[in-house]
Amino acid sequence: MSEKVVQPGPTHPLPMPAWLSLAGKTAVVTGGGTHLGQAMALALAELGASVHLVGRRGAVVDAAAHALCAQGHGAWSHAADAADPEAMTAVVADVVRRHGQLDVMVCNAGGGQGADMAPNIRLEDLEATLRGNVGTTMVSAQAAAQVMMPRAQGAIVTVGSIHGTLGSDPRLYGPGFRRSSQSYHAAKGAVVNLTRALACEWAQHGLTVNCISPGQIPKASIDPVTRSRFLADVPLGRLGEPADLKGAIALFASPAGRWITGQNLVVDGGWSAW
């Protein structure tokens, strides 16, 4: 039997498939000036979206937006508190004024308040942490939904954490490492289930709402003791990097995820699979 040999032709870059492209789309990323938010904003821009970065520190989001523009992307910055309904309504209104619509809202703003652990957590720290995670998510999602619903389309992406579904082992942390308190666990757990509730409520309006829960993606300043202990608990054998969230945000924000809603995608190198 003869074998037919097909000679490969010259290779050319293929255009981005329509089911992944965000060309002509607009996106807002709260907490978009640093770390995880910055990486997700870059991913959206690389898919073709015009990206608006929101953060309380104007200089930080300005710098991040300028960095995106320097790479040839369309980016804008807004100094605003994502937990402030009036501020986020104004941000969304500016996006619509500039581009005609809002297609993607990434509710990334978050963080923890206070360093005390239970049973010494102060109520004011708990309330501040809930505001900084659940409040920012609800406010940003609602501001986006108000303009997405009339068009019957839009993707809302929330950002949880493995701490939203798991406890943490205090034995893993080196001396002086600032751990996430139980307030943060409670807040991120609320974000995960708020995502499900919003997905069910807004599906009738054509919106998708999904959550990304990152694992251990530390900043460079992490101490070597904690780093080595974390490594031992990651099946894939390395700690995460901000760019490791690019695939998840691309899935949920693009047409590739148009039939996915109410889900919590854990991106943790297998940490939670042990």
- The answer to the question of residue 12 being in a domain is no
Q: How far apart are CA 154 and CA 94, in angstroms?
A: 17
Q: How many domains does the chain have?
A: 1
Whether residue 10 is predicted with pLDDT greater than 90 in this model: the reply is: no
Q: For 135, which DSSP code?
A: I
Which helix (H) or strand (E) segment holds residue 52: the answer is: strand 50-55
- The answer to the question of residue 15 being in a domain is no
Please name the residue that has the structure tokens 């929330």. Answer: 158
Whether residue 2 is predicted with pLDDT greater than 60 in this model: the reply is: no
- The answer to the question of residue 38 being in a domain is yes
Strand order in the sheet with 154-159: 75-79, 50-55, 26-30, 104-107, 154-159, 207-214, 264-267
- The answer to the question of residue 253 being in a domain is yes
- The answer to the question of residue 34 being in a domain is yes
Q: What is the pLDDT of residue 9?
A: 60
Confidence of residue 4 (pLDDT cuts 50, 70, 90): low
Whether residue 8 is predicted with pLDDT greater than 70 in this model: the reply is: no
Size (the chain), residues: 274
Across 55-84, average pLDDT:
97
- The answer to the question of residue 190 being in a domain is yes
Q: How far apart are CA 232 and CA 251, in angstroms?
A: 29
- The answer to the question of residue 21 being in a domain is no
Domain that holds residue 221: 26-114+149-273
CATH number at residue 100: 3.40.50.720
* Each residue's pLDDT tens digit, 92-119: 999 999 999 999 999 999 988 888 999 9
| CB neighbour list of residue 188: distance below 8 Å, 6 or more residues apart | 110, 133, 160, 161, 163, 164, 213
- The answer to the question of residue 109 being in a domain is yes
| From 41, 140, 163, 184, active-site residue | 184
Q: What is the pLDDT of residue 177?
A: 82
Q: What is the pLDDT of residue 176?
A: 76
* Each residue's pLDDT tens digit, 152-187: 999 999 999 999 999 989 999 888 788 889 999 999
The model carries a pTM of 0.94
Q: What is the pLDDT of residue 268?
A: 97
184 included as an active-site residue: yes
Q: Which alpha helices (H) appear in 71-152, and where do they start and end?
A: 85-99, 123-130, 136-148
